[in-house]
Structure formats: structure tokens, C-alpha cells
Amino acid sequence: MFRTAFIPIVAFAVSLSGVAAPPGPAPLVIAGYVFPQNGPLQPGPIDPHGMTRINYAFAAIRNGRMVIATADDPSNLRQLTSLRRQNPSLSVLISVGGWLGSAAFSDVALTAKSRAVFIQSAMEILKSYDLDGLDVDWEYPGLPGTGNRFRSEDKQNFTLLLKELRERFARESMQTHKSLILTIAAGAFDDYISHTEMARVQLYIDQVNLMTYDYYEAGDDPTTGNHAPLFTDPTDPKKDSADATVRAFEAAGVPAAKIVLGVPFYGRMWQQVASVNHGLFQTGKPVPNGYAPYNVIKETMLGHGFTRYWDTQSNVPYLYKEEKQVFVSYEDPQSLAVKGNYVLTHKLGGVMFWSYFNDSSGELLGAIDQSLQAPHATKTIHK
């Protein structure tokens, strides 16, 4: 498997203008989110060699401080960091925030004092659990997310929070000689770019984990669609794709080498979908519990009345069961192989996925690993 680890920033230029990372290519990242859903990790199920980085989800924010969210987190983190004995190149980060955990970010980032309190608490957690860095998952600066507090000042304060985190990481590294990784999870839509200063943000972080999925969700979109298209299908009403998002972030000032392409290990489902075009880009209704982990797709859909189709424009598969009028957009080894080749071709920083336990077989992670070490094994259609 692909085992080369990302080498974090080890030298910094601290000045009034900020903290800049040294130029130059870095080995590819394979970052997986491990999300135990507020429960204990079972011993043994995580392959320490399939990823270069684990992002543990999620730490919480309480009273302006970053805190461990559940009683199981300490033992879970110890279990994950113990994997470095088997693979010393593996990095273990903790992710803070997330879709349901971003309510306090605007307050945290608001003033120099509030940022200092948060940063100090983050450092205490990194030290206590011997972690390799922090992934900031603010969903989203300047936008309400799930009804969170937000402010116009979030745009600048987000940059300041990351700048001050980087400066603290640099000072810590000078004392400990241990480099710390700083990443963000970024929304794959234009409003995210317009509400952030990505050209400045990228100066202070190692990578942007670009959430290039959920372009279509049954709860929000009455029309079916590819929820993680690589390229834009001309017949797609929304005209979205990972490629379009990557180009938008590059245009906003993020170097390709700092963009980590996000892929989903789960599918999105609609029901009451007419059989026109095998259900693609047709009206439909949400399916209760319509989030479908790849485990479920593989065990209950493939070979169980669903027919697999391939969107040759977007380079992704989808399923349709005509009898039940159910449509499923998902990712599989073929599409991930093409995306891996895209990462190589476009000189991106690597691949990120949500989330590890959605594919207990390891089939999807294996496809990513193989594609990133065998660039000529698959063919990407360039657009």
C-alpha cells in the first residue's frame, strides 16, 4: 500500500506580514476521518498502513475552549496514536468542529483574547494526547451552517485564528523539535470562497481538505444528481463538480499542492424517482435514513436488484432500482481510481475521505492507495 507520509512544515519566517511556509513539493497525503460517533473504538479494525494521516472527529468547543467531547475520546486517541508503532510515518490529528460542532467558532475567533484562549486549550490537548496537529473544521465562516452564530468579521477572523495557531505551532516546534500539522476542512462551494481569504489562509496551513462531495443531497435537492462528480456533466442542472471546485480554489490563491481532494465513502439516496435516464437528474423524494455507507451499498444493493450505471461525463457511478424507483449516488473503486489519477495529473496534495468505518472491507481505501502509486493504471478523461 501507499505508505509515504506527508512531511509537515519545519521552518517558518515570522514577520509582521505573517508566517509563510517554504516552497517545494511534498509527498502525497491520504487522510481519513475516523468518526466513532461518540463511542469507543474497537481494537484492531484500523489499518495503520493505508493512510498517511488520521483525522479524529471531533473535539468540541465549550466556553471558548477546545475540549475533549466524550469520555471515550482519551482511550480512542491513545489507541490511534499507538498505531504509529506499526507505521512511524502515520500522523494523528484531532479535528475540531464539524457540521454539528461549529456553533462557537465565530465567538472563538472574534478577538485576540478569545483566540488566545482557544489556541492555548488546543495546545493542551495536542500535548496531553501526543497528537501531530489540528484540523479546523469550521462550517462555515460568515455563514450560518446549522443555524450557528456568524458575523461579517468571520472572514478576517478566520485568517487571524489560523495565523495565530501557526505562530504558536512554530514556537512550540522550536522548543520540542516536533513539527505540528495545521489543516482545515473547506466547503466546496463559491460562498465559502467569498466568505474567506483563501490566498492568505493558505499561507498558514499545510493543506485544505476540500469537501468535494454532497453536491446533491436528497433532503436539500428535490432533483437527483451525482453527489461527488469529478467533472461537470453538461446535463447537470447545478453544473457542479470536484474539478470545478479545485479550479475555483486555485483561482482564489490556493496552490494545487495544498489541495487535498475529498471523497465520500458513502452514498446519497432518493425515492419515487422516474425511470427516465435511469433516474439521473430526475425529481425524487428523500429516503428515510438516506445516508448509505459503502458497507450498506455493497451488502444490500449491489447484486440485490439495483443496476449500476456510469456517468461518462462526471466519471462516477450511480445505482437505480426501477422496481422501487430508488436512485443512489455513490463512490466505488473505479471512480476512486480515476480521482487518484486526477490528483497525480493535477499535482494536488492528496486525497481525504469521510469516513473510515463506512467501508470495513478496505476496498475503497485500497483503490485510493493503488491509484496514487500506479499513475498509469487508470485513465482520466481531462476536461
Q: Quick check: pTM over 0.85?
A: yes
User: pLDDT 10s per residue in the chain (383 long)?
Assistant: 333 333 344 333 333 344 544 444 578 999 999 999 989 998 788 999 999 999 999 999 999 999 999 999 999 999 999 999 999 999 999 999 999 999 999 999 999 999 999 999 999 999 999 999 999 999 999 999 999 999 999 999 999 999 999 999 999 999 999 999 999 999 999 999 999 999 999 999 999 999 999 999 999 999 999 999 999 999 999 999 999 999 999 999 999 999 999 999 999 999 999 999 999 999 999 999 899 999 999 999 999 999 999 999 999 999 999 999 999 999 999 999 999 999 999 999 999 999 999 999 999 999 999 999 854 444 444 44
Q: Is 322 a catalytic residue?
A: no
Q: Which long-range contacts (CB under 8 A, 24 or more apart) does 146-150 make?
A: 146/99, 146/100, 146/102, 146/103, 148/102, 148/103, 148/105, 148/106, 149/103, 149/104, 149/106, 149/107, 150/106
> How many Cα atoms occupy the beta-carbon half-sphere of 142 within 13 Å?
18
59-86 tens-digit pLDDT: 999 999 999 999 999 999 999 999 999 9
* Residue whose C-alpha cell reads 505540528 in the numeric block: 180
Q: Which of 200, 162, 252 is nearest to 17 (CA)?
A: 200
Nearest in space to 197 (alpha carbons), one of 244, 163, 246, 247: 163
**How far is the C-alpha of 344 from the C-alpha of 341, rounded, in Å?**
5
Which pLDDT does position 14 carry in this prediction? 37
State the CB neighbour count (10 A cutoff) for residue 27. 14
Grid coordinates given for 103? 456553533
Ordered by start, the domain boundaries in the chain are: 13-265+331-373
81 in Cβ contact with 128 (< 8 Å): no
Catalytic residue selected from 124, 139, 197, 363: 139
Q: Report whether CATH 3.40.50.720 matches the domain 13-265+331-373.
A: no
Q: What is the largest CA-CA distance in the chain?
A: 64
